[in-house]
């Protein structure tokens, strides 16, 4: 056979002959099917129930993937040499000494602390209402980031429960599977959080602009006097989020000439990237 | 075991493995730049065995990615179908070109793929997000990392195909 009659594959070094490509009719049919799915998902959120179940299916795999990390850490501790352990003990002893020194300065503060403890107990914060959950997955979708948490079985969490971290508000529960829960982050473009400013006590709705970006307060009149650095808390309006959770701080205030409203950008305190544990507030 | 079934199992296993790697293996510090291995693996099988891997696989794994990534149901699906169609339609040109040229072509495909996710389907704010410069930068880096991953994916899967997948 003459070489010019065919092309030679880089993959298999074999001759390439006419292999029919996908039929365009099938591609069109598949595209129409996908468009139908997209429209139903946008309008009626048809995919949300299947979505949470799909994470349950993949959960054993994610656990399996974490197993080598766990084993390697255990081995590392087990086989660490005596010298290394002695160094570590010395380091800890030094740290302990520093802490003892710091404690001396804390005596005065402890008096105030006891008063604060009294205040804390008087507010009747039910610690049982919080559930600690571990992160399972964070999707790379910039505008609609998806955080999946392992919540275990038979947890009494509900859709719209607030999710918080040490830094502040993370988002709210969007879907619940058998052992996982999906969180709509405050950075999500679909998210809207009723907030109140710390100093000026102004109410507004905070919309997300995507992960890694500042949020924006919606429809702020030009008479409003937000200041840069001012802290933002949840207002509790609409009863989706409990009142008083820290959300972020005002990053910038812009007064556009061609608009009736101010552009107030808020930097979020919480960031789900490289963070493993979250609290679900089972507030109703 | 039926040979055809065994071969198909290897193909599906590699695709499924790519999904798992996409979801769990890459560190979160490179969240927006991590390559989309599922699509790379799909493109490879499409080129290597165009009569065995086609529209059904593209649609199926696209929908799986939609469900797991939280994007609109069908968005990954339609993009996977269209990209695999383009790759199959022009695979005579694509297959015989050197690996760096293939990577360059994939760079453009992945850039367009990422840009499709910038559309504001929920009308949450005015206009499109395409104007967002940081998104374009992220899409650019994503396309670069994905195209850089094409060569290792290509050689690993070619080895797998030569050893295990024999139709």
Select the more confidently predicted residue: A248 or A108.
Answer: A248
Structure-token match 């505008």, residue found: A143
Q: How far apart are CA B105 and CA B99, in angstroms?
A: 10
Residue of A nearest to B139 (CA): A142
pLDDT band with cut points at 50, 70 and 90 for residue A239: confident
pLDDT band with cut points at 50, 70 and 90 for residue A18: low
Q: In chain B, what residues touch A33 (CB-CB under 8 Å)?
A: 59, 74, 77
Give percent of chain A above pLDDT 90. 15
For residue B91, what pLDDT is reported? Answer: 77
pLDDT band with cut points at 50, 70 and 90 for residue B100: very high
Bridge partners, residue A207, by sequence: A192, A216
In this predicted structure, the answer to whether residue B9 has a pLDDT above a threshold of 50 is yes
CA distance B17 to chain A (A): 10
- The answer to whether the CB atoms of B73 and A273 lie below 8 A apart is no
Q: In chain A, what residues touch B64 (CB-CB under 8 Å)?
A: 54
Spell out the domain ranges in chain B: 3-163
- The answer to whether the CB atoms of B28 and A51 lie below 8 A apart is no
- Give the best residue of A30, A150, A177, A210 to mutate against chain B (max B CB count within 10 A): A30
pLDDT tens for each residue of A65-108: 777 777 877 777 777 777 788 888 888 888 887 777 766 666 65
Helix (H) or strand (E) holding B114: helix B99-116
Torsion of CA A55, A43, A172, A132, to 10 degrees: -20
Cβ(B58)–Cβ(B14) below 8 Å: no
Lowest mean pLDDT among A154-163, A175-184, A254-263, B123-132: B123-132
- pTM of structure: 0.78
Most confident listed range (A30-34, A187-191, A259-263): A30-34
Mean pLDDT within B88-105: 87
pLDDT tens for each residue of B17-56: 998 888 877 777 788 888 999 999 999 998 888 888 888 9
Q: How far apart are CA A258 and CA A71, in angstroms?
A: 60
Cβ(A279)–Cβ(A131) below 8 Å: yes
Select the more confidently predicted residue: A158 or B41.
Answer: B41
Most confident listed range (A55-59, A190-194, B96-100, B146-150): B146-150
- The answer to whether the CB atoms of A11 and B25 lie below 8 A apart is no
Of B31, B20, B33, the C-alpha closest to B64 is B20
Q: How far apart are CA A166 and CA A269, in angstroms?
A: 9
Tokens of B58: 């593209």
For residue B127, what pLDDT is reported? Answer: 43
pLDDT tens for each residue of A105-131: 666 566 666 666 665 555 555 667 788
Mean pLDDT value across chain A: 81
Structure-token match 């790759």, residue found: B87
Cβ(A4)–Cβ(A16) below 8 Å: no
CA distance A246 to chain B (A): 23
Select the more confidently predicted residue: A32 or A45.
Answer: A32
For residue B126, what pLDDT is reported? Answer: 47
CA distance A95 to chain B (A): 30
- The answer to whether the CB atoms of A40 and B69 lie below 8 A apart is no
Helix (H) or strand (E) holding B34: none
For residue A1, what pLDDT is reported? Answer: 44
Q: How far is CA A227 from the centre of its chain?
A: 27
CA distance A148 to chain B (A): 9
Select the more confidently predicted residue: A101 or A247.
Answer: A247
For residue B130, what pLDDT is reported? Answer: 56
> Least CB-CB distance to B47: which of A11, A26, A182?
A11
Cβ(A30)–Cβ(B81) below 8 Å: yes
- The answer to whether the CB atoms of B55 and A26 lie below 8 A apart is yes
> Least CB-CB distance to B50: which of A21, A33, A41?
A21
Tokens of A157: 């969490």
Structure-token match 């709210």, residue found: A172
Residue of B nearest to A40 (CA): B73
pLDDT tens for each residue of B145-167: 999 999 999 999 999 998 888 76
Residues 57-86 of B with CB under 8 A from A: 58-59, 62-64, 66-75, 77-78, 81-82, 84-85
Cβ(A28)–Cβ(A150) below 8 Å: no
HEC string for chain A: CCHHHCEECCCCCCEECCCCCCCHHHHHHHHHHHHHHHHHHHHHCCCHHHHHHHHHHHHHHHHHHHHHHHHHHHHHHHCCCHHHHHHHHHHHHHHHHHHHHHHHHHHHHHHHHHHHHHHHHHCCCCHHHEEEEEEEEECCCCCCCEEEEECCCCCCCCCCCEEECCCCEEEEEEEECCCEEEEEECCCCCCEEEEEECCCCCEEEEECCCCCCCEEEEEEECCCCCCCCCEEEECCHHHCCCCCCEEEEEEEEECCCCCCEEEEEEEECCCCCCCCEEEEECCC
For residue B141, what pLDDT is reported? Answer: 93
CA distance B112 to chain A (A): 15
Cβ(A158)–Cβ(A174) below 8 Å: no
Of B166, B118, B160, the C-alpha closest to B140 is B118
- The answer to whether the CB atoms of A190 and B122 lie below 8 A apart is yes
Bridge partners, residue A265, by sequence: A216, A252
Bridge partners, residue A173, by sequence: A183
For residue B128, what pLDDT is reported? Answer: 47
CATH of B3-163 among 1.10.287, 1.10.1760, 3.30.1380, 1.10.1660:
1.10.1760
For residue A65, what pLDDT is reported? Answer: 72
* Domains, chain A, with CATH or none: 19-79 (no CATH), 129-284 (2.40.10.350)
Residues B64-83 as b/e (b if ≥16 CB within 10 A, e otherwise) read bbbbbbbbbbbbbbbbbbbb
In this predicted structure, the answer to whether residue A5 has a pLDDT above a threshold of 70 is no
**A124 in the Ramachandran plot: left (φ > 0), alpha (ψ -120 to 50) or beta?**
left
Q: In chain B, what residues touch A27 (CB-CB under 8 Å)?
A: 55, 81-82, 85
Mean pLDDT within A202-210: 89
Other CB atoms closer than 10 Å to residue B84's CB: what's the count?
Answer: 29
For residue A243, what pLDDT is reported? Answer: 86
- The answer to whether the CB atoms of A34 and B64 lie below 8 A apart is no
Cα separation of the two ends of chain B? 14
Of A224, A171, A231, the C-alpha closest to A199 is A231
pLDDT tens for each residue of B109-154: 999 999 888 887 776 654 445 567 888 898 999 999 999 999 999 9
């Amino acid at each position: 056979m003459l070489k010019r009659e065919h092309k030679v594959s880089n993959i298999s070094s074999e001759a390439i002959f006419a292999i029919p490509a996908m039929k365009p009719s099938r591609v069109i049919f598949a595209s129409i099917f996908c468009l139908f799915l997209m429209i139903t998902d946008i309008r009626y959120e048809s995919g949300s129930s299947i979505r949470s179940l799909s994470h349950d299916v993949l959960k054993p795999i994610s656990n399996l993937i974490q197993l080598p990390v766990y084993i390697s850490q255990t081995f590392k501790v087990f086989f660490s040499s005596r010298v290394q352990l002695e160094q570590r003990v010395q380091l800890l002893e030094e740290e302990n000494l520093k802490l003892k020194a710091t404690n001396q300065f804390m005596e005065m503060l402890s008096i105030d602390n006891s008063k604060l403890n009294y205040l804390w107990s008087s507010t009747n914060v039910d610690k049982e209402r919080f559930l600690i959950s571990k992160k399972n997955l964070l999707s790379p979708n910039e505008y609609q980031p998806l955080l999946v948490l392992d919540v275990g079985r038979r947890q009494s969490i509900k859709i719209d429960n607030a999710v918080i971290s040490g830094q502040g508000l993370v988002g709210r529960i969007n879907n619940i599977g058998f052992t996982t829960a999906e969180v709509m982050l405050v950075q999500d473009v679909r998210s809207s959080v009723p907030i109140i400013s710390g100093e000026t006590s102004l109410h507004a709705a905070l919309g997300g602009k995507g992960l890694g970006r500042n949020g924006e307060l919606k429809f702020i009149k030009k008479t409003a006097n937000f200041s840069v650095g001012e802290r933002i808390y949840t207002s509790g309006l609409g009863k989706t989020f409990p009142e008083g959770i820290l959300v972020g701080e005002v990053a910038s205030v812009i007064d556009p000439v061609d608009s009736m409203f101010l552009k107030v950008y808020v930097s979020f305190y919480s960031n789900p990237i490289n963070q493993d544990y979250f609290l679900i507030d089972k507030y109703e | 075991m039926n040979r055809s079934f065994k071969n198909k199992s290897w193909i599906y296993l590699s695709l499924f493995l790519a999904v798992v790697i996409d979801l769990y293996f890459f560190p979160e510090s490179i969240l927006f730049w991590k390559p989309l291995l599922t699509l790379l693996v799909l493109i490879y099988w499409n080129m290597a065995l165009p009569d065995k891997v086609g529209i059904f696989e593209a649609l199926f794994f696209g929908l799986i990615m939609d469900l797991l990534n939280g994007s609109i149901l069908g968005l990954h699906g339609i993009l996977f179908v269209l990209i695999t169609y383009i790759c199959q339609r022009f695979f005579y040109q694509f297959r015989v070109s050197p690996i760096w040229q293939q990577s360059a072509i994939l760079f453009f495909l992945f850039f367009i793929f990422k840009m499709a996710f910038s559309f504001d389907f929920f009308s949450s704010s005015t206009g499109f997000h395409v104007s967002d410069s940081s998104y374009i930068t992220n899409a650019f880096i994503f396309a670069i990392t994905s195209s850089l991953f094409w060569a290792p994916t290509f050689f690993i899967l070619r080895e797998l195909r030569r050893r295990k997948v024999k139709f």
